[in-house]
Structure 1
Amino acid sequence: MENEERKKLEEEYKNLKLLIEFHSTYGVLDKSEYEKMVNDILDRMNEIRKMLEKE
């Protein structure tokens, strides 16, 4: 993995983390939408983490 690609993945991971924090704090979505969104974000964060660990 190139350094630039790694930086993009790290930035995406950081942004996803911020998105979860925002929605946890402000509760913009109803509960079912919130749970689905969080699960989707966590899945993507796990994918990114695995990709970064391969390096």
Structure 2
Amino acid sequence: MSDVIQTAKARRTFLMNEIEKRMQEIKKLEEFIKFGQDLARNADSAPKVQIAS
């Protein structure tokens, strides 16, 4: 029985670590998206440049 409990505890620890990793990835993606949105917002308000053809 204690093998089952040990296995379950190890699995739980592993899954908690995996969840933490995914949460960190999501946080990085959210920061990247915010950066892109800020970039787009700034591009809209930047002076327009005419390129001679």
Higher RCO (CA-CA < 8 Å; seq separation 6+): 1
TM-score by length of 2: 0.48
TM-score by length of 1: 0.46
Q: Over alpha carbons, which structure has the higher Rg? A: 2
